[in-house]
Amino acid sequence: MEDNQNSAPGSVPSGKLGGARKTADPGQNAAKRLQTELMMLMTSPAPGVSAFPSADGNLLSWRATIEGPDDTPYAGLTFKLSFEFPSNYPYAAPTVLFTTPIYHPNVDFSGRICLDILKDKWTAAYNIQTVLLSLQSLLGEPNNASPLNGEAAELWDKDPTLFKTKVMDRHKDVEED
Amino acid sequence: MSAATAASPWKNRRRRIFQSVFQTDVSGPATSYTHHDPFAFGSGAATATSDQQVIYDGAWHTVTARISLPPSATAEELFETLAPDSQQQSSSGEDVEFNQALDLLVHAPTVLPWATPRTDDIMAWHAQQVRAHFSHHVIPILTACVGEQQQQQQQQGDRNEPNMVVVMTSIKTLQAALGLYSHGLGLLMRGLSPAAASDSSTSSSGGAVGEAELVEARFRRDIHALVAISASEGLMASLRIVLVRLIGTVLGIPSADGGQRTGESQRPTARARPVPPTENDFLALAARRRLHELVEQLYNVGLAGERFQVLFAEIMDWMMSNFVSGAYGGVWAAASDARTFAAATDTISRNPAALSSTSPCILSLSDWIENHFARLSVEVLSRLSPSSSSPPVTLSDVKTYQSLALGRLAALRIAELFDIALAWPSSRGALDDLRATITTAPRRQQLTASFSRALQARLLHPGCSTLDILHTYIAIIHTLHALDHSKVMLGHVEPSLQLYLCQREDAIRIVVAGLLASPDEVRAARKATEAFKRQGERRQKDGDAGSSSRWKRAEGSGAALFATPAARSGRSTRTPGTRRLREATPESGSQSRTTTPRGDRDRDRPSAGPTKLVELALLLNDPSQTRRAQPADDEGLDWDDMSWVPDPVDAGANYKRPKSEDVIGTLISALGSEDVFIKEFTAVIAERLLGDPNRFDQELRLLELLKQRFGEAALQNCDVMIKDVLDSRRLDTVIRRMRQLQDHGRFEQQQQQQQQQQAPLMRTPAGPMAAYNNNNNRKKDEAEVAETQYHACILSRLFWPALDHEHFLLPPPIVDKQKQYEKAYKSLKSGRKLTWLNQLGQTRVELELRDRTVTVDCSTAEATVIYAFHDADAGEDAPPARRSADELYNQLQMDEDLIAAALSFWASKGVLRRAQQGEYVVAETLAAPGGGSWEQQQGTAGVPSDKNANNNNNNNNGKAPRRAGKTAGGGGGAGGGDAKEQERRAMYWQYIRGMLTNSSASMPLAQMAMMMKMLIADGFPWSNEELQEFLGEKIAGGEMEVVGGKYKLVKK
């Protein structure tokens, strides 16, 4: 609002001076940023991943889709995720969950994900697309050192066939409506 | 006398017959006889008594048979029997007999001393007869005719005629019945009168006649009471409707069912305004005559009792309210409207002198009260009590009526006050009304309370933008000052407004920006004001300055207020409730679609631009607005002040009489303390000084004016700030000269012209210094060695508002410059240290691209970002520089938001282009202006020279590889506009796919449109129909399908 009403000729937008930008409602900033991210996602989509705000129109809650990468046990499967953004996003990480059941060493049975960039390694430089791409690569390269699903971590190396079977057993398309 | 011996059983039988015939159990004489019966056998006078009783009974029978009422009566019979003459012509023989019998009864005390004579009995019997007859026959007829008509009126819908019929039939019925009753009474009275005459020898004749009149009067009173009590609700309702119509016509108030029946038939509008009828208004005269007749008739049949008077009073009261609200609601014009008050003008001169100085509304209202309202009251009331000698309405009553009407007017204006304030200054007339009518403390209180409520409901809510609130506030200050020069009322209203404004952070900024409005804006505002005035005059001339124009104004504002936020999308806070500022009525809603929003804004906001409080600048230059500081002892001692009035009663203890309207002062004090305002003012001034330090006449002027208001000391900081700017200009010249001497020719490699300005300086030894860079890049000839010019502005830290230090890395050449500047400064002013505020500078950047040179004035942050695209090592054939936001973030250590803003700034200038993956690419070549998309042009036109200023001087005339493939793809076949449209459609399709993939597998159209509107930052211009069409194409293309009204993607 300020910028428009102060746009006296030659004046600097007030954001630069008074730090009004900083005092603005944090939720607003997050929403703006998410809107921008959405635009970026839409104009330059990455293959195999997509995301969109949830149907209720809440910008702080998104749904995303990851296609299992080829040459991984997840090839041909699609996984749904939910993103919940804090109001100070991007200064804090979003909460990301798999809503599609997935058998994976770093994902537990309620969909929680063990991924450093979603925890302590988060920086504001990450965005939804990078998170989705990281998750996509996590499907192919699990971090078996710190598994949430010990059995999966074990099977990943020992018995890829059984692993694949378990993946297919666990996977279930969630039909929302 | 055998008859006498058998008297007892026989008489008993006779009594039974009597009773059966007359259907009455009141048979006074007969009953009393039976009481005597036991006596008769025991006393010597028994025979005489019996005889006399027989004679008496015979006479009784004769009389009662004659005056008895028809046992059953239909309406027709009633009217037939009515004919009074027919009964008079009864045979003389009967007459004689009747008279004798009556005589006997009347003189029973003397003639038949033993026969328990009581003159009253025959009267009581008659009254009883009448009562019974009335209740058994007349009331059913009345009820029937009321019910019948009500049924009819429900069917017909026309309300007046049936009601008139009801009233008239009822009156006729009652007249007939009363005629019947008085016939009997007349016979009795005839009998009584001779009796009285013959009595005159023994008693005074006056006494007897008096008694007869008394009896008759009592009978009439009884019967009228009977009628009045038995009048049904339906009858009264009909009577009310009839009276309302008649009185409404007489008083010139259009009845509820439209004006076509009344005198205003020439007015086509349904909401015709009440106009007092002229002397020769035919309809009004007819109605008046009709009303007189009606009242007389009612009086004659006894319907003009208390209930009628209450009814009449209620109607008159209602008429007064109606007239006031109808005739004056929304009429605020100061000048008398030629048509509305035409009837009043010729009588104004006759008005009491006391009202001579008041507004046209009050004049015409007083006139109406005196010449129409009071007159009608006199006419009606005098017919209700024709015998009374004193006039029914005295002069003091008229005064009471007038003050009542003024009270109504005051209430009306109080209710309208918020709208009146909005309509300022065209609503002065209404304020005159208010000033004249708000005379008592309770009314003042009522006004302020009601106005505060209106404020809360219509202004002080999140739906109103701060600008709107401030506009309205200014109007309120004007309005209430016009109403009450003492400003006490304003003081009562203000607190809530002030409290609310304190929550609006941008309020002070808006006010200061308004105060700093440039002369151009002021001129524009003046012009708008004049245009508005002319428009207003024209509107008044257009006639009917009343409701229709008011509604039009309201509509216009609705449209204008909607148009404004729509123009600036994204300011969602303004949109939702703005309309509530003016109460939206169905009328205004429907018509606003047809009116053009253009011009309405001007009309609505006479002296204001849409985004600024320009009127403040006007006021600031208005000498009458300044607060003259007067010595305190002058207060109240100006003996020559003829307009002096005592302080208002509701003034507080510390009340000080203000000398002027002082809008600005009031506004500023409303925004919090002066300190707060000055602080904010300083911030704004600082911003403006830094923004364009070469021109600050406006600021200086405002500063001087504000100094008069707040005093020198309060604005000292601003003085210092201006001095800083001037000083550093001088210093800058000095340093530049020194530097030129020292290092001339050292910066050849910096052909890129960027200038950053930063210069901070501290006046105090300890603190960091605020710095400000002023970079002017002058374009140099390519061959010439261009020096980046660098200017600094040195700010005294203590006097400037706190300025944020935004960290980022400046381009190395600029850093060099800074260092040199710092050194030079140190040599000039030892012991002081400069702290650079990099983000505050202004830069002129000259960019040499392959096909063009772009010169842009921008902020230092933007210049730094574009410099990062500068690729000194790039060969001539190198592809355009390409950076992502993340790279820039790492490279410049600049705030992400600033980077994003700068990137989009350059993208909007056409220097950068958004590429895949959030990267930006330098647009080395550009389509010719006015052509299609530049990519297409790029593909076709060879662009020989590219010089990228960012890429520095070294790339001369290199041919960069074109991204031909992409060009071909993007431009393929379609024209420029189509290509853009295609691009947009492709993007929307992405959105839709993203939505249906992730949010919900299937969605209805409306929800999709809603999401698109909400989520696309630049707005989603399509209507639902356009979206539907687009989706239809996709369905035809097999990419989507509709299932149960919801769209979904076809799974592949």
* Of B60 and B658, the one with more pLDDT: B60
- Alpha-carbon distance of A143 to A134, in angstroms, equals 12
User: Is residue B840 scored above 70 in pLDDT?
Assistant: yes
User: What's residue A170's pLDDT?
Assistant: 86
Give the model confidence (pLDDT) of B285-306 as tens digits: 888 888 888 888 888 877 777 7
Beta bridge mates, A65:
A50, A80
H or E segment at B772? Answer: strand B770-774
Among the residue ranges B69-78, B363-372, B414-423, B761-770, the one predicted with the least confidence is: B761-770
Q: What percent of chain B has pLDDT over 70?
A: 57
pLDDT winner (highest mean) among B80-84, B439-443, B535-539: B439-443
User: Is residue B724 scored above 60 in pLDDT?
Assistant: yes
The residues of A that are catalytic are 114
Least Cα distance to B647 among B659, B639, B655 occurs for B655
Q: What is the pTM of this model?
A: 0.51
Which of A9, A38, A125 is facing B518, going by the closest CB pair?
A9
Q: Taking CB atoms and an 8 Å cutoff, what residues of chain A touch B1014?
A: 57, 59
Phi then psi dihedrals of residue B611, to 5 deg:
-115, 0
Q: Name the DSSP letter for residue B654.
A: T
User: What's residue B817's pLDDT?
Assistant: 79
Among the residue ranges A120-124, B829-833, B921-925, the one predicted with the least confidence is: B829-833
Over residues B744-757, mean pLDDT: 36
Please return the burial class of B217, using the count of CB atoms within 10 Å of its CB with bins 0-12, 13-18 and 19+: exposed
User: What's residue B595's pLDDT?
Assistant: 33
Q: Taking CB atoms and an 8 Å cutoff, what residues of chain B touch A63?
A: 998-999
Sorting pLDDT into bands at 50, 70 and 90, what band is B877?
low
DSSP B527-538: HHHHHHHHHHHH
Least Cα distance to B719 among B689, B692, B741, B747 occurs for B689
- CA triple B389-B393-B399, angle to 5 deg: 145
Contact B557, B600 (CB under 8 A): yes
DSSP B837-903: -GGG-EEEEEEE-SS-EEEEEEEHHHHHHHHHT--TT--TTPPPPEEEHHHHHHHH---HHHHHHHH
Mean pLDDT over the full length of chain B:
66
Give the model confidence (pLDDT) of B801-825 as tens digits: 776 677 777 777 788 878 877 887 8
* Of A151 and B965, the one with more pLDDT: A151
Alpha carbon of A6: minimum distance to chain B alpha carbons (Å)? 6
Among the residue ranges A154-158, B611-615, B940-944, B980-984, the one predicted with the least confidence is: B940-944
Q: Taking CB atoms and an 8 Å cutoff, what residues of chain A touch B683?
A: 17-18
Contact A122, A92 (CB under 8 A): yes
User: What's residue B892's pLDDT?
Assistant: 79
User: Is residue B924 scored above 50 in pLDDT?
Assistant: yes
The dihedral through the CA atoms of B719, B834, A8, B466 has a sign that is negative
Give the model confidence (pLDDT) of B78-111 as tens digits: 555 444 444 444 445 566 777 777 776 666 666 6
The dihedral through the CA atoms of B256, B261, B263, B264 has a sign that is positive
Subunit contact A176:B1001, Cβ cutoff 8 A = yes
User: What's residue B82's pLDDT?
Assistant: 46
Alpha helical stretches, state H, B697-811: 697-710, 716-743
- CA triple A161-A166-A168, angle to 5 deg: 95
3-state secondary structure A9-75: CCCCCHHHHHCHHHHCCHHHHHHHHHHHHHHHHHHCCCCCEEEEECCCCCCCEEEEEEECCCCCCCC
User: What's residue B821's pLDDT?
Assistant: 79
Over residues B200-214, mean pLDDT: 54
Q: How many CB atoms lie within 10 A of CB B596?
A: 9
Residue of B466, B468, B505, B687 to mutate, interface with A, max A Cβ within 10 Å: B687
- B624-628 LR contacts (CB < 8 Å, sep 24+): B624/B660, B624/B661, B625/B660, B625/B661, B625/B662, B625/B663, B625/B664, B626/B660, B626/B662, B626/B708, B626/B709, B627/B658, B627/B659, B627/B660, B627/B662, B627/B665, B627/B709, B628/B659, B628/B660
Subunit contact B683:A6, Cβ cutoff 8 A = no
Q: What percent of chain B has pLDDT over 90?
A: 0
Sorting pLDDT into bands at 50, 70 and 90, what band is A96?
very high
- Alpha-carbon distance of B741 to B735, in angstroms, equals 10
Subunit contact A5:B804, Cβ cutoff 8 A = no
Alpha helical stretches, state H, B459-546: 466-483, 488-503, 507-515, 519-541
Residue type, B991: Y
Subunit contact B994:A41, Cβ cutoff 8 A = yes
Q: Is B575 helix (H, G, I), strand (E, B) or coil?
A: coil
| CA distances to B104, B112, B124 from B118, in Å | 11, 11, 10
- Alpha-carbon distance of B616 to B515, in angstroms, equals 5
Q: Taking CB atoms and an 8 Å cutoff, what residues of chain B touch A45?
A: 990, 994
User: What's residue B525's pLDDT?
Assistant: 67
Q: Is A112 helix (H, G, I), strand (E, B) or coil?
A: strand
* Of A36 and B517, the one with more pLDDT: A36
Q: Which residues contact B623 (CB under 8 A, 6 or more apart)?
A: none
User: Token pair of B604, please?
Assistant: 């609505």
Subunit contact B1000:A176, Cβ cutoff 8 A = yes
Q: Taking CB atoms and an 8 Å cutoff, what residues of chain A touch B886?
A: 125
Phi then psi dihedrals of residue B348, to 5 deg:
-60, -40
Sorting pLDDT into bands at 50, 70 and 90, what band is A95?
very high
b/e sequence B1006-1019, b meaning 16+ C-beta within 10 Å: ebbbebbeebbeee
User: What's residue B125's pLDDT?
Assistant: 75
b/e sequence B784-821, b meaning 16+ C-beta within 10 Å: eebbbbbbbbbbbbebbbebeebebebbebbebbbebb
Over residues A73-95, mean pLDDT: 88
User: Is residue B774 scored above 70 in pLDDT?
Assistant: no
Contact B618, B526 (CB under 8 A): yes
Q: Is A84 helix (H, G, I), strand (E, B) or coil?
A: strand
Contact A174, A100 (CB under 8 A): yes
Among the residue ranges A74-78, B565-569, B739-743, the one predicted with the least confidence is: B565-569
User: Is residue B850 scored above 50 in pLDDT?
Assistant: yes
User: What's residue B439's pLDDT?
Assistant: 74
Give the model confidence (pLDDT) of B122-153 as tens digits: 777 777 777 787 777 777 777 777 777 666 65
Q: Which residues contact B714 (CB under 8 A, 6 or more apart)?
A: B674, B675, B678, B707
Ramachandran bin of B363, using left for φ above 0, alpha for ψ from -120 to 50, beta for the remaining angles: alpha
Subunit contact A45:B990, Cβ cutoff 8 A = yes
Q: Which residues contact B739 (CB under 8 A, 6 or more apart)?
A: B820, B821, B824
Interface contacts (A, B; CB < 8 Å)? 132
